[in-house]
Structure formats: structure tokens, C-alpha cells
């Protein structure tokens, strides 16, 4: 009995013990409880329940003899049966998932209204969740994206968010970024994603101490650890008017004093 065979049957929905019993009968033919117990390494008292379950699934048959023995449904038929059952379960799950999403969608308008009524503050953990939130913010943006960050973080973010950025430029969203001075050879790698004339870059002497991204001048992500890379620092998100206004004013001041060329 190979481990890979067990993995396939488990992937098709059988428990480990059911898979072992079914494979034991497939490999060794008609067998009684004692023989199956010896081959599969499963206690006899458990086998009565397992064989009953496998019969309900259509994977084994009872052979009337003394003692009672069992015969496996041919492996080709058994696997096909399990696969059809699995596909039916997945189809049912997909239907339930669509219903779930529709329910959330129907409540979305109310949620958006509630969001607009009360300003929010969220601490978003680093890693995949943060990337997902940034993607979502870019996809909703209609007019502007303003970013101040280090070159390394900026380059990594542009790469991770390239598809959302490309769609933003196609919507005529304008981008502005403030990063530290670069070697000339590094400018092209950044501008691959932060594309002129949709987006501009200005430079400061050293990496900005305030690392943030502002979308449509209405919401801001402020990164808690300014010197950590994008996947290591959580971010404070807010649409609070006072916080967003401070972030916008800070960015505009940095933009005015930053240099056009590295």
C-alpha cells in the first residue's frame, strides 16, 4: 500500500482509515475482517464500522461466506465514484459561496453608508493582508495616489501592486511619489510601474521618515515602522478627516521641497 495512493483517496474525500481498508481490499482481493485488520493495521472492532461506511459509499461489497468477507469495487470504478461525489460537493459549495457573497453584496450599500458616517481607524497587520488592502484601495481610487517611502519599499510595492496600478493609470489616476535619491540605473526599474506621464517621482536626500500612501486625498495608510520593509511593518489606515488632512498637508510640504531629478 503506497503512501501516494492513500493521499489520492484522501484527496477524494475518504478518511485515512477508510482509504487504507479500501486499498487493502483492492490489492489483496476478497478478505475477511481478520485479514483486513492484519493488512491495514486497524483494530477489528473499528473495521465493522469502517466496512459499513464503505458499503454505503459503494466502494465495497459483502461476500456471503464463513466467515463474512468483503470485496472491493474495482479501483477505476471506485475512483470515478469518489470523483463524481467530490465534484458534486464542490458544486454545492460553490453555490453556497455565491449565495454568501450575494448576501454580503446586498448589505454592501448599508456598510458603505455606515463607513461614511463614522470615521475609522484600523491597524492592518503586515504581509498578505496589507497587500490585499493596498490593492483594494488602488482599485477604488479615482483621481490621485500620493506616496512617500524608501526606494526599496517603493520598488517592492510597485511590483506587488503592478496590475492595480496599471488599471489606475488607465483610469487617468495621477500618481506622485517621494523617495530618496537613486543611482541613475535604478530610476528605470521604478518607472516601469510608476509610469510617466500618469505618475511623477520627486527625490529627497534620505529615505522619508514618514512612510504613507494617500488615496483620493480621502484615506491614508501610515506605516508604523518606517525603516522596515513592506512585508514587516503594519499600517494604520484611516479615513478620519483630521488625520487625512494632516497627511495631505505633510505630503504637499514634502513635495514642494523635493527635487525633480535624482
- Domain containing residue 35: CATH number: 1.10.10.10
In the prediction, which pLDDT does 183 show?
66
Q: Quick one: 72 and 182 in the same domain?
A: no
Decide if 112 is inside a domain.
no
pLDDT value at residue 103: 80
**96 in any annotated domain:** no
Q: Are 179 and 227 in the same domain? A: yes
For the chain, how many structural domains are there in total? 2
Residues 248 and 142 both lie in one domain: yes
Q: Are 233 and 124 contained in the same domain?
A: yes
Beta-carbon count within 10 A of 203 CB: 17
What is the per-residue pLDDT for 243? Answer: 94
Chain CA centroid to CA 33, Å: 45
Q: What is the pLDDT of residue 113?
A: 55
- The pLDDT, as a whole number, for residue 115 is 53
Lookup: cell for 26: 483492492
Same domain, 27 and 131: no
Whether residue 136 sits in one domain with residue 48:
no
Q: Same domain, yes or no, for 127 and 58?
A: no
Whether 94 is in a domain gets the answer: no
Query: Both 20 and 146 in a single domain?
Result: no
Domain stop point among 80, 107, 128: 80
- The verdict on 54 and 128 lying in the same domain is no
pLDDT of amino acid 228 = 73
Q: Is 159 inside a domain boundary?
A: yes
pLDDT of amino acid 193: 83
Q: What is the pLDDT at residue 120? A: 85
HSE-CB at 235 with a 13 A cutoff on CA atoms is 25
Could you tell me if residue 92 is inside a domain? no
Cα–Cα distance between 183 and 229 in angstroms, integer?
A: 20
Domain identity same for 253 and 158: yes
Domain that holds residue 15: 3-80
Q: Is residue 103 included in any domain, yes or no? A: no
For residue 48, being part of any structural domain is answered with yes
Note whether 58 and 179 are same-domain residues: no
- Cis, bond preceding 67 (omega within 30 deg of 0): yes
Instruction: Report the CATH number that the domain containing residue 189 is assigned in CATH.
Output: 3.30.870.10
**Whether residue 183 sits in one domain with residue 237:** yes
> How confident is the chain (262 residues) per 10-residue block, as mean pLDDT?
86 92 93 93 93 92 91 93 90 89 71 58 84 93 95 88 94 94 67 84 91 96 82 87 95 94 71
Model's pTM, two decimal places?
Answer: 0.57
pLDDT value for 26: 93
**Residue 136 domain-assigned (yes or no):** yes
Amino acid at each position: 500500500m503506497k503512501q501516494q495512493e492513500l493521499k489520492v483517496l484522501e484527496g477524494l474525500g475518504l478518511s485515512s482509515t477508510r482509504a487504507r481498508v479500501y486499498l487493502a481490499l483492492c490489492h489483496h482481493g476478497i478478505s475477511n475482517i481478520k485479514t483486513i485488520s492484519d493488512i491495514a493495521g486497524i483494530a477489528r472492532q473499528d473495521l465493522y464500522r469502517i466496512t459499513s461506511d464503505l458499503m454505503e459509499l459503494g466502494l465495497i461489497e459483502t461476500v456471503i461466506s464463513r466467515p463474512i468477507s468483503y470485496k472491493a469495487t474495482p479501483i477505476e470504478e471506485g475512483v470515478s465514484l469518489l470523483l463524481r461525489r467530490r465534484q458534486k460537493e464542490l458544486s454545492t459549495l460553490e453555490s453556497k459561496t455565491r449565495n454568501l457573497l450575494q448576501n454580503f453584496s446586498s448589505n454592501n450599500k448599508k456598510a458603505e453608508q455606515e463607513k461614511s458616517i463614522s470615521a475609522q481607524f484600523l491597524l492592518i497587520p503586515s504581509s498578505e493582508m496589507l497587500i490585499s488592502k493596498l490593492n483594494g484601495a488602488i482599485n477604488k481610487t479615482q483621481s490621485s495616489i500620493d506616496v512617500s517611502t524608501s526606494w526599496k519599499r517603493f520598488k517592492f510595492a510597485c511590483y506587488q501592486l503592478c496590475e492595480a496600478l496599471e488599471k489606475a493609470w488607465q483610469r487617468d489616476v495621477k500618481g506622485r511619489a517621494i523617495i530618496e535619491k537613486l543611482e541613475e540605473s535604478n530610476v528605470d526599474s521604478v518607472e516601469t510601474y510608476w509610469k510617466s506621464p500618469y505618475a511623477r517621482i520627486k527625490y529627497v536626500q534620505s529615505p522619508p521618515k514618514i512612510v504613507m500612501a494617500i488615496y483620493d486625498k480621502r484615506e491614508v495608510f501610515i506605516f508604523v515602522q518606517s525603516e522596515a520593509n513592506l512585508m514587516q511593518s503594519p499600517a494604520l489606515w484611516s479615513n478620519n478627516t483630521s488625520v487625512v488632512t494632516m497627511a495631505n498637508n505633510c505630503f504637499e510640504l514634502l513635495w514642494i521641497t523635493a527635487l525633480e531629478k535624482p
